[in-house]
Amino acid sequence: EADIYQTPRYLVIGTGKKITLECSQTMGHDKMYWYQQDPGMELHLIHYSYGVNSTEKGDLSSESTVSRIRTEHFPLTLESARPSHTSQYLCASSEQGAGTGELFFGEGSRLTVL
Amino acid sequence: KQEVTQIPAALSVPEGENLVLNCSFTDSAIYNLQWFRQDPGKGLTSLLLIQSSQREQTSGRLNASLDKSSGRSTLYIAASQPGDSATYLCAVEGPTGGFKTIFGAGTRLFVKA
């Protein structure tokens, strides 16, 4: 069982609100990722980190931002939510080193912006 | 650029049948290939991880094979059960695209009781 947790699991908010999706892992993994997935659609990488103070944008452009101040936390923030941000956001982590590891996912945060 | 394709996109089988899901990738320079299961509205659960030096991995009724040179992997599910109904995704990690993991679109499996 993977030790990676996301909160909240479900969130419904109004347009213009600031939101932060939390992701924590207790496996000591250096690599962490955020994916965005619409229902029935493919996963798209929006942010990733290879360690503390390291963040990179993924393949899909996103208006969200991330931070990595501690190894175990990788929060995602939307400064001003819009209906187009409605989606499921999945956090994942893996060990450092090329090709070393299994990718572990959290349960996801389903965001609805009205 | 690495691309991962999964065939079929959807599959419906009666309970008890053995089945094979296919995954192909365009760049054979991979470090590993991983199969996942995703239930509706949930995260992904790792099923099997095959390192590039390995040919197959087994877990219970699941067997995954890897042919790196031809860019193919298969996930074999024996004696399928209704609880196996889910979307199955394969993903490869490699140097192409900066060591990121590239996912296929998935195969949606429905096992009828």
> Could you list the pLDDT tens digit for every one of the 114 residues in chain A?
569 999 999 999 999 999 999 999 999 999 999 999 998 888 999 999 999 999 999 888 788 999 999 999 999 999 999 999 999 999 999 986 655 578 999 999 999 999
DSSP string, A43-111: EEEEEEEEETTEEEE-SS--S-EE--SSTTB--EEESS--GGG-EEEEEEEE-SSTT----EE---EEE
Q: What is the per-residue pLDDT across B3-51, written as a single tens digit (0 to 9) for each?
A: 999 999 999 999 999 999 999 999 999 989 999 999 988 899 999 999 9
| Best B42, B44, B48 residue to mutate vs chain A (most A CBs within 10 Å) | B44
| Best A10, A25, A47, A105 residue to mutate vs chain B (most B CBs within 10 Å) | A105
State both tokens at B89: 């995704």
Q: How far apart are CA A6 and CA A9, in angstroms?
A: 7
Closest residue to B43, CB basis, from A42, A58, A90: A90
Range B62-79 average pLDDT: 97
Closest residue to A108, CB basis, from B43, B49, B97: B43
pLDDT band per the 50, 70, 90 thresholds, residue B70: very high
Contact assessment for residue A29 and residue A106, using Cβ atoms and an 8 Å cutoff: no
Confidence check: pLDDT of B96 > 80: no
State both tokens at A54: 């390291």
Confidence check: pLDDT of B62 > 80: yes
pLDDT of A15 reads 97
List Cα–Cα distances, B19 to A93, B26, B79, B100, in angstroms.
30, 24, 8, 29
State both tokens at B104: 């296929």
Lowest model confidence (mean pLDDT) among A21-25, B60-64, B96-100: B96-100
Residue linked to tokens 């600031």:
A18
Among chain A residues, the shortest Cα distance to B43 is held by A107
Confidence check: pLDDT of B55 > 80: yes
Q: Give the residue numbers in A contacting B (CB under 8 Å), as ranges.
A: 2, 6, 33, 39, 41-43, 45, 48, 58-59, 88, 90, 92, 94, 98-108, 110
